[in-house]
Amino acid sequence: MFKRLVLPLAMAAGLAATGLVQTASAETLRVGTECTYFPFNYRDSAGTLMGYDVDVANEIGKRIGAEIEFVCQEWDGMIPALLANKFDLIVASLSITEQRREKIDFSVPYRVSIGQFIGAKDKNLQFFNADGTVNPAGFEDVKIGIERNSTYDTWIHAKMPDADIVPYDSNEAMYLDLRAGRVDAIMTNPMKAHLVFLSQPDGAGFETVGPAITDEEFFGIGVGVGARKDNPDLLRRIDEALVAMIKDGSLSTFSRRYFPFDINPTDWKGAS
């Protein structure tokens, strides 16, 4: 028996030395994310990438048997970079909208997607009427900070195109200007606003203005994983992983790491 094994083993060693035998390796998925959007995707003081998006991406990788490799990408270039094959997926709090669906595919939602105005209490801002409709008069002589190319940007240009809008390339710069009084209000993610601003000492003089905005035309059905329109099998596997994560409470667990409330969907309404 020993002699019969010697030749195959020797042959295998020789083939490996010439590169003709390839060892099996796990699938690697490159995931694009901002890396600066606390608490969804950001680096801690040690430089470790963390956040709700990061937790979701890593858990997807575990469930579908793939290694996850994160690629930091500025928000403005997120979808173009995906289409240019700089990475395979977007997991960056990207809302599922019809406009974006024309370019890329989305998984089922892994987070809710809504908007809210935050403003100074002493401004007594009235952006909405009692019935929840937009109040154009309330936007007069008011500077509003908006992050460029965001769902909030799309919403306000559609609903209030004559508003005095101050565009920002980063969420952090927008908050700095709100605190300094260079803008009177911002429109942003209310989950992040609660965590990093309104619940902190710096946010004591500020409040939410009007109701949370859930308009699906602009904010979609939630936040999903973005993928190119060339790999439906990968998207199916991701969907299966996310549905299981919704059902077994994993997304709720990730939510509670960063928020005192759940930010995940309670069902698995499809994105396609």
pLDDT, residue 270, reads 74
pLDDT-derived band of residue 91, with 50, 70 and 90 as boundaries? very high
Q: Are the C-beta atoms of 224 and 271 separated by less than 8 Å?
A: yes
Q: Is residue 108 predicted with pLDDT exceeding 60?
A: yes
Give tens-digit pLDDT for 32-71: 999 999 899 999 999 999 999 999 999 999 999 999 999 9
Task: Tell me the pLDDT tens digit for each residue of 144-178.
Answer: 999 998 999 999 999 999 999 999 998 889 999 99
Domains of the chain are 28-112+220-258 (3.40.190.10), 115-218 (3.40.190.10)
